[in-house]
């Protein structure tokens, strides 16, 4: 579904990604692990075209996308859920969802408001509430729902558990498993290993802009030195 090869990216003059390669197969949940500043978010932004990669290839659904602007990539069915949520605080819940809406995709049942409210019941009661008046956890639900309105085949989730109370993190894990149940491919960046273990099939570890490990969650669990060296546990 998603193939990344030898990705290089810069912020200004700072060389952030040094040849990142990774894959996510259809229906898979893949975690990209690493600590703050390791380059996790940058990988997702580069895939999405928000930070155009300087070098390397990104193929989505068999199509090369590394030179496309973000909106074209989004229209191909790649959804992006940013860190820090970035919901439109002046817009109501319904309007936030409207901004994310795209035409239905062939072969996929389209997401509707009602279907999303079934997945995130908290949101149903606050359709007309401005996004700025929601709690952090509610905003996190809304930002995912907003991206789903674009009927993506694959979703990039940037730090979905960041800054959430541990108890909300558990709800978030349930929601991601539900997305997997719908057949979506998910690539998520995380610092939280417990959370990743609860949702992901496979994991990559990134450090200083390079992939240092790629394998199943079981392999990662079996190697405490990896966790000690690269992760915040």
Distances (CA, A) of 142 to 42, 61, 128, 172, 183: 22, 26, 13, 12, 20
Interface with other proteins includes 74 (CB under 8 A)? yes
Pick from 6, 15, 19, 37 the residue near other proteins by CB under 8 A.
Answer: 37
Interface with other proteins includes 224 (CB under 8 A)? no
Interface with other proteins includes 91 (CB under 8 A)? yes
Interface with other proteins includes 166 (CB under 8 A)? yes
Interface with other proteins includes 114 (CB under 8 A)? no
Is residue 41 within 8 Å of residue 16, measured between CB atoms? no
Interface with other proteins includes 102 (CB under 8 A)? yes
Q: Which stretch binds other proteins (CB under 8 A): 20-28, 65-73, 112-120, 176-184?
A: 65-73
Rounded to the nearest whole angstrom, what is the least distance from the CB of residue 162 to other proteins in the complex?
8
CA distance 198 to 214: 17
CA distance 25 to 97: 27
Is residue 86 within 8 Å of residue 140, measured between CB atoms? no
Q: Which stretch binds other proteins (CB under 8 A): 24-32, 70-78, 118-126, 218-226?
A: 70-78
Taking the least distance from each CB to other proteins, the nearer of 147 and 189 is 147
Interface with other proteins includes 167 (CB under 8 A)? yes
Q: Edge to edge, what strands does the sheet with 14-24 contain?
A: 14-24, 2-11, 55-60, 63-64
Query: Which distant-in-sequence residues (6+ apart) come within 8 Å of 204 by Cβ?
Result: 22, 30, 31, 32, 33, 211, 213, 214
Residues that bind other proteins (CB under 8 A): 11-14, 35-37, 48, 50-51, 69-71, 74-75, 80, 82, 86, 88-91, 95-96, 98-102, 133, 135-137, 146-147, 150, 162-170, 194, 231-233
């Amino acid at each position: 579904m998603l193939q990344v090869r030898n990705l290089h990216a810069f912020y200004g003059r700072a060389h952030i990604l040094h040849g990142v390669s990774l894959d996510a197969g259809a229906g898979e949940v893949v975690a990209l692990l690493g600590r703050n500043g390791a380059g996790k978010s940058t990988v997702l932004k580069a895939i999405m075209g928000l930070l155009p990669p300087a070098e390397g290839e990104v193929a989505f659904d068999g199509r090369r996308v590394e030179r496309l602007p973000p909106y074209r990539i989004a229209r191909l069915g790649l959804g992006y859920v940013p860190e820090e949520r970035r919901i439109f605080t002046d817009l109501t819940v319904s309007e936030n969802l409207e901004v994310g809406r795209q035409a239905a995709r062939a072969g996929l049942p389209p997401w509707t408001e009602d279907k999303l409210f079934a997945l995130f019941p908290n949101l149903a009661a606050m359709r007309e509430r401005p996004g700025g008046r929601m709690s952090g956890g509610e905003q996190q639900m809304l930002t995912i729902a907003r991206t789903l309105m674009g009927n993506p085949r694959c979703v990039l989730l940037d730090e979905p558990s960041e800054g959430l109370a541990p108890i909300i993190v558990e709800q978030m894990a349930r929601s991601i498993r539900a997305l997997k149940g719908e057949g979506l491919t998910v690539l998520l960046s995380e610092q939280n290993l417990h959370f990743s273990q609860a949702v992901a099939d496979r994991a990559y570890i990134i450090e200083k802009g390079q992939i240092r490990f790629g394998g199943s969650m079981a392999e990662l669990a079996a190697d405490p030195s990896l966790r000690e060296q690269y992760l915040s546990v």
